[in-house]
Amino acid sequence: MTQLGPRRGVFLDKDGTLVDDVPFNVDPARIRFVPFAEEAVRRLADAGFVLAIVSNQPGVARGLFDEAALATVAGEISTRLVALGVPLAGFYYCPHDPSGTVERYRRVCDCRKPAPGLLSRAARELDLDLGESWLVGDILDDIEAGRRVGCRTVLVDNGSETEWQLDTSRLPHHIVDDLDEAARLIVELDTARRERAETGER
């Protein structure tokens, strides 16, 4: 699909949103897409969205795996997406944890969601219009990060969020049951918005 207008992105949380949440997994053989993920990413890519993963990876700071292992994870996911005809524009992660055991990574940072650093960096490097972009995640920290950069947000309510500490900064624009429903919603709303813009409607 030919890209018209500003580059629009969809930022996808990794664990629990795009792939099954296997805690601290860096073994490519154990990576599994969540149900309907293949259909969802195809739908988004076909609609012209740039896809990027944004993921907290505190296992690095906790000494559970080396940061270099995440390159293998990123490569595996990218390879599987390319096999579906879907390019992955970027894999952005935060290796930090203020309570980590590895001194190099034990700190407060601006990239650990709900901080907005990962999304800001991705938008800058991928030349994305944040106001035309979306964040899809399965916990409210994801939603807050998206809202803090001006994205529209979708929460996949799959049971991962257990605390539900809601305020205006963490309130999802939309809540859905799975990733494909999120993709359908994004494409539908984006298409309608662009059609209104073309006709001068508000």
Q: pLDDT tens-digit profile of 60-79?
A: 999 999 999 999 999 999 99
- In 3-state terms the chain splits into helix, strand, coil percentages (rounded to 5) of 35, 15, 50
Query: What pLDDT is attached to residue 10?
Result: 98
The model's pTM: 0.94
Q: Is 90 helix (H, G, I), strand (E, B) or coil?
A: strand
Given this model, what pLDDT does residue 156 score?
Answer: 98
Which among 9, 55, 17 is positioned nearest to 186, based on CA atoms? 9
Alpha helix (H) residue ranges in 14-67: 37-46
What is the pLDDT confidence band of residue 202, given thresholds at 50, 70 and 90?
low
Report the pLDDT value the prediction gives residue 104, as an integer from 0 to 100.
97
Q: Give every CB contact of residue 112 below 8 A, 6+ residues apart in sequence.
A: 56, 58, 94, 96, 97
**pLDDT band at 3; cut points 50, 70, 90:** very low
Return the H-helix or E-strand segment holding 10. Answer: strand 9-12
What's the pLDDT tens digit per position in 105-138? 999 999 999 999 999 999 999 999 999 999 999 9
Per-residue pLDDT of 168-180, as tens digits, reads 999 999 999 999 9
**Per-residue model confidence (pLDDT) at position 201:** 62
Return the residue matching tokens 């259909």: 39
pLDDT of residue 2: 43
Question: What pLDDT is stored for residue 198 in this prediction?
Answer: 80
Domains and CATH numbers, the chain: 9-128+142-199 (3.40.50.1000)
Model confidence pLDDT, tens digit, residues 26-40: 999 999 999 999 999
Residue 5 is predicted with a pLDDT of: 53
Catalytic residues: 13, 15
Q: What is the pLDDT of residues 132-160, one digit of tens each?
A: 999 999 999 999 999 999 999 999 999 99
Percentage of residues in the chain having pLDDT higher than 90 = 90
